[in-house]
A and B are shown apart, each in its own frame.
Chain A
Amino acid sequence: MCPASRYTDLESGRISLGCNFACIHCQNWEISQQFAEGTVCGEREIAALIDEARRRGCRNQNWVGGDPIPHIPFWLKVLLWETENTPVFFNTNGFYSTEASSLLRGVVDIYKIDFKYGSDICAEKISGVSGYWKVITRNLKAAKKQGELLIRVLVLPRHLECCLIPIVSFISRELGPETRVNLMDQYSPHWRAAELPELKKRLDPDEWEKAVKIALEAGLRNVTT
């Protein structure tokens, strides 16, 4: 038996750690849903590492988790100590509050937001989150106004009709066909993905071909794969 199962929440069947989602296919499950605890770090220490990284040629500071949303208060303190001009790349699932959005405004240079689901039912089933669509669409619109936006769409097997179509239609219609979208084919059944029949396998080539066609037919003109 996988020792991780000792830590699962009895009600939902899973828990999440360092993240506000509990994705059943989490790629970073060792960090977000299992044992690794990490080391307590001082803000000055991290700021110094970021400054050094910038000096050796890194292009940005990439805040990730889990998800960086719960870490925002720490990050704001880190920035107070930084001395280099290092753009902030906020690498998020986009499920943050309007308060968080206000704190990020005037701080985040690039909002990299995962647009995962086209339906609240799928969001609930796969990531254990409710009210997804309303929140993600609100935050995407705000991110476009208050910074530069890069959207990642991981195509999930058998979620083309329910998820991909509403996602690309929304982007094209509400954010504009020029919005930069990284359409991703690398879905892989990590963590406990095998518990959902459709997520047991990788995307098949026909489905990927269809996904690209859907994105282009929605009018998107800045798709990278």
Chain B
Amino acid sequence: MWRLWRPDAVRALEDPKVVSSMPRYIGILKGKLLSKFVISRQVQVEWGSDSSEDELWDIHDASLRKMEKLMRDLDSGRIHPDELGDPPKKSLLHLKARIGESIMRSCRLCERRCGADRLKGELGFCRVGREFRVHSCFDHLGEEPEVVPSFTVYGSRVRPN
């Protein structure tokens, strides 16, 4: 149906201005390339349960370099996706999730750096808190032609009293 509403979206993937600015994205849509998170999930990473956040970042940065090398190899065809095998139990993506949670103890995700301990239920400026609240999600047709249809998830927050 969306093709009727947004014929420009069909043409967009061939538009030279789109192709030149987001070639990798188009490669993913055409089934030729893997989204980055899929590649990050393939990079095996080990860390200790007692590692400090600084130690986790060191492991993260080293693993990220491995991920970017793997991405170059996949994108250029030196490695075929079929050679990847099952994703490991602990990957770079798991480590990112682990660090993300750790940051929530003293939140500095945005540049307000308000330091709320979200895991304890404190609410900072954004009031997002500990749990993922979702206002709505739907197939969005109102974005740029190369973007739609886009499954859009509106994250929400705790209501003020």
Contact between chains at A62 and B36 (CB < 8 Å): no
Judge whether A166 is part of the interface by a CB distance below 8 angstroms: no
- Decide if the interface of chain B is mainly helix, strand, loop or mixed: mixed
Judge whether B77 is part of the interface by a CB distance below 8 angstroms: no
Contact between chains at A58 and B151 (CB < 8 Å): yes
Given contacts A60-B150, A80-B41, contact A100 B109 (CB under 8 A): yes
| Cα–Cα distance between A17 and B22 once the two chains are bound (Å) | 32
Contact between chains at B156 and A31 (CB < 8 Å): yes
How many chain A residues touch the partner (CB < 8 A)? 81
Contacts of B107 in A (CB 8 A): 70
Contact between chains at A39 and B155 (CB < 8 Å): no
Residues of A34-90 whose CB lies within 8 A of B: 35-43, 46, 49-50, 53-54, 56-74, 76-80, 82, 85-89
| Cα–Cα distance between A20 and B112 once the two chains are bound (Å) | 7
Contacts of B34 in A (CB 8 A): 85
Judge whether B140 is part of the interface by a CB distance below 8 angstroms: yes
Contact between chains at B103 and A61 (CB < 8 Å): no
Contact between chains at B147 and A109 (CB < 8 Å): no
Contact between chains at A7 and B97 (CB < 8 Å): no
Contact between chains at A89 and B112 (CB < 8 Å): no
| Cα–Cα distance between A108 and B94 once the two chains are bound (Å) | 15
Contact with A along B75-99 (1 / 0, CB 8 A): 0000000000000000011101101
CB distance from B96 to the nearest CB of A (A): 5
Contacts of A31 in B (CB 8 A): 135-136, 154, 156
Contact between chains at A40 and B132 (CB < 8 Å): yes
Contact between chains at A16 and B126 (CB < 8 Å): yes
Residues of B25-40 whose CB lies within 8 A of A: 25, 28-29, 31, 34-40
Given contacts A96-B111, A106-B67, contact A62 B134 (CB under 8 A): no
| Cα–Cα distance between A70 and B127 once the two chains are bound (Å) | 9
Contact between chains at B99 and A38 (CB < 8 Å): no
Contacts of B99 in A (CB 8 A): 103
Contact between chains at A40 and B22 (CB < 8 Å): no
Residue on B with the closest CB to A54? B151
Contact between chains at A59 and B150 (CB < 8 Å): yes
Judge whether B125 is part of the interface by a CB distance below 8 angstroms: yes
Given contacts A62-B152, A71-B155, A224-B144, contact A85 B160 (CB under 8 A): no
Contact between chains at A131 and B25 (CB < 8 Å): no
Chain A residues close to B by CB (< 8 Å)? 7, 15-20, 28, 31, 35-43, 46, 49-50, 53-54, 56-74, 76-80, 82, 85-89, 91, 95-97, 99-100, 102-103, 105-110, 112, 129, 131, 135, 147-150, 178-180, 182, 222, 224
Q: Could you write out 30 A-B pairs with CB less than 8 Å apart?
A: A15-B160, A16-B125, A16-B126, A17-B160, A18-B128, A18-B133, A18-B156, A19-B126, A20-B111, A20-B125, A36-B159, A38-B157, A56-B139, A58-B151, A60-B25, A62-B143, A70-B155, A74-B132, A80-B41, A80-B94, A82-B37, A89-B150, A97-B108, A99-B103, A106-B92, A110-B22, A148-B24, A150-B144, A182-B144, A222-B17
